[in-house]
Amino acid sequence: MEKEWKLLATFNEPIQAELLRGLLEAQGIRVLIAQEGAAKALGVNVGILGEIELLVPAGEHTRAEQIMNDYFAGNLEAD
């Protein structure tokens, strides 16, 4: 298990977090998704309680950030 995780991005939509997690994991980057416990239990996805944090190993942060930026810019090609 990684000793140090670093915040990559914060989302308000679970689908966005899950899509990016899948993309990063396909590139061999481990991902943790964190959401406030009460929000998850109650199904709240608005405001600060609805924020979903995507964390990656600190040593992979730069690479993960580049992949994320390319994804949102539409610069990734399908294999």
Contact 5/42 with Cβ under 8 angstroms? no
pLDDT of 74 higher than 80: yes
This prediction has a pTM of 0.78
Q: If you compute the radius of gyration of the chain from its CA atoms, what whole number of angstroms results?
A: 13
What one-letter code names the amino acid at 74? G
- What is the pLDDT at residue 9? 96
Beta carbons within 10 angstroms of residue 37's beta carbon: 9
pLDDT of residue 38: 46
pLDDT, tens digit (0-9, with 9 covering 90-100), for 7-45: 999 998 888 999 999 999 999 999 999 875 444 555 555
Classify domain 5-73 at the CATH class level: alpha beta
Q: Enter the DSSP assignment of 28.
A: T
